[in-house]
Amino acid sequence: MNKVTMFSTYEKLSKYVANIVEEQLKENRISRFILPTGSTPLGLYKELVNRELDWSAVMTYNLDVYIMNPSHSQSYQTFMKENLFDKINIYPSNCKFPDRNVQSYEQRLKGIPVDLCILGIGTNGHIAFNEPGSSFKSRTRVVDLTEQTLQDNSKYFDSVEDVPKQAITMGLRTIMESKKIELMANGVNKLNILNVAMNGEVTESVPASILQNHDNVEVFYCD
Ligand code: GLP
């Protein structure tokens, strides 16, 4: 597969991306990161916690949130607190999540370009919650989740009916304005869509395919 670095284990992939984050932090302690949720970045976050880096001047921006109570056990705010923010020396006020005031989120991101954006990918090619058909010009906004995404994410809830039907996501244009992008994919169920996104046509039907137009993107995979 073109343009994709393959790893033999999930641990190796997680450590490799942690090295990239660490290098960025050491180069500039006031770095700005865009961060993902989902199962894929769990190993990365564990690795970063173990490294005891200095996060005291870092700003983070999460890619997306479900429209639900932020203190719910399955909210992305809770996920980030439990897996990263509560375990590192970052200021909670420096950890930003999209909310209904989408203009203000965009303004924050536009102020100074984000140094590093870390992404996962959905089985339908979504990045953040930009589902197939999202405009390449899209910015932070409220979106409806597709049936495929509801099904995929139902593993974190008691049933598919419990998965929130709407989310607030950064747009594809917003993501593309990052200086550097790292996409992580883990599991054979991501192999086909990764191939289509990275080697196929650049099309709004496959949101991740927009990354082919970014000049500083790396893609990592392990099965
Ligand atoms: C969710 C998130 C995405 C994430 C994707 C993959 O829908 N909104 O940002 O990349 O799922 O998740 P996982 O890593 O659990 O496969």
- Residues 154-203 pLDDT 10s: 999 999 999 999 999 999 999 999 999 999 999 999 999 999 999 999 99
Q: Residue 133: pLDDT above 60?
A: yes
Question: Ligand 1 centre from 189 Cα, in Å?
Answer: 12
Q: Residue 88: pLDDT above 60?
A: yes
**Residue range 40-63, pLDDT digits in tens:** 999 999 999 999 899 999 999 999
Would you state the pLDDT for residue 109? 93
pTM of the full predicted structure?
A: 0.96
Sheet holding 64-66, edge to edge: 64-66, 166-169, 141-144
Concerning whether 214 is annotated as a catalytic residue, the answer is no
Yes or no: say if 140 and 175 are a contact pair by the CB < 8 Å rule: no
- State which ligand 1 atom lies nearest to the alpha carbon of 38: 15
Confidence of residue 2 (pLDDT cuts 50, 70, 90): low
Distance CA 206, CA 4 (A): 17
Cβ(35) – ligand 1 distance below 6 Å: no
The chain-wide mean pLDDT, for the chain, equals 96
Concerning whether 72 is annotated as a catalytic residue, the answer is no
Concerning whether 131 is annotated as a catalytic residue, the answer is yes
Cβ(129) – ligand 1 distance below 6 Å: yes
Question: Ligand 1 centre from 53 Cα, in Å?
Answer: 25
